[in-house]
Amino acid sequence: MTALWYASRATGLAALVLFTAVVVLGTVTSARVASPRWPRFAIAAVHRNLSLVTVVFLAVHIATAVIDPYAGIDPYAGIRWISVVVPFVSAYHPVSLGVGTVAFDLLVAVIVSSLLRPRINARLWKAVHWTAYLCWPAAVVHGLEIGGADSGLTWVRALLASCVIATVVAVLWRATVRHPDTEARRGTLGDVR
């Protein structure tokens, strides 16, 4: 095993933890939760900056996996650059790697739409941004399926379980919380009747 192999595994796990934090913060931000110590703009800034850090870890994860000559057990079945953007074409774990590629492609769409946010329709941006909720489980499946021996380690399973629990709790919490603007409109409508 090479340093690239370790770097790929480590940055993959770090990217998943960071991605989980981004999804949880995005979920909290969508509910427009704020406090005097953490105003909405601060939560949104942390979400945005953490997203950028996650992309850096993901880029290193992908680059080290492709560059590592031992990424595939068979040296002729290594991971090629085309596998980064075109799903299910790799000779090495085509389905598992393809699911990771789908997650990456969706994430790229979210990033591009966020960069173009001032120039595109708000509904379009929001629709594309919702694909982040599809990226995350695809990334988890990718990690479980292609993680090799690492996936069987107790601490890796605990880490994955923690990420899943944090995300599920955040999404369930968000499903039960009413948006402040909706509540204000309901209060106004209630006064009219």
pLDDT in tens, 1-38: 688 888 988 999 999 999 999 999 988 888 887 788 88
Phi-psi region of 87 (alpha: psi -120 to 50; beta: other; left: phi over 0): beta
User: How many Cβ atoms are within 10 Å of 63's Cβ, its own excluded?
Assistant: 16
- Give per-residue pLDDT as tens, 95-127: 989 999 999 999 889 888 888 989 999 899 888
Amino acid at the residue 163: C
Q: Give the pair of three-digit tokens for residue 75.
A: 């040296």
Band (pLDDT 50/70/90 cuts) for residue 161 is very high
What pLDDT score was predicted for residue 163? 95
What pLDDT score was predicted for residue 35? 81
Residues 6+ positions from 5 with CB-CB distance below 8 Å: 64, 68, 70, 71
> Has residue 71 got a pLDDT over 70?
no
Residues 6+ positions from 7 with CB-CB distance below 8 Å: 60, 64
End-to-end Cα, the chain, rounded Å: 71
Provide the domain limits for residue 90.
Answer: 3-192
d(CA 82, CA 80): 5
Specify the DSSP class assigned to residue 73.
S
Q: What is the CA radius of gyration of the chain?
A: 19
CA 62 to centroid of chain Cα atoms: 14
Contact 162, 24 (CB under 8 A): no
Nearest CA-CA partner of 177 in 45, 34, 42, 80: 34
Residues 6+ positions from 131 with CB-CB distance below 8 Å: 106, 109, 110
Instruction: Express as a percent the part of the chain with pLDDT over 70.
Output: 86
What number is the average pLDDT over the span 117-146? Answer: 87
Phi-psi region of 130 (alpha: psi -120 to 50; beta: other; left: phi over 0): alpha
> Has residue 86 got a pLDDT over 90?
yes
pTM tops 0.75: yes
Q: Mean of the per-residue pLDDT values for the chain?
A: 84
Domain count, the chain: 1
Band (pLDDT 50/70/90 cuts) for residue 76 is very low
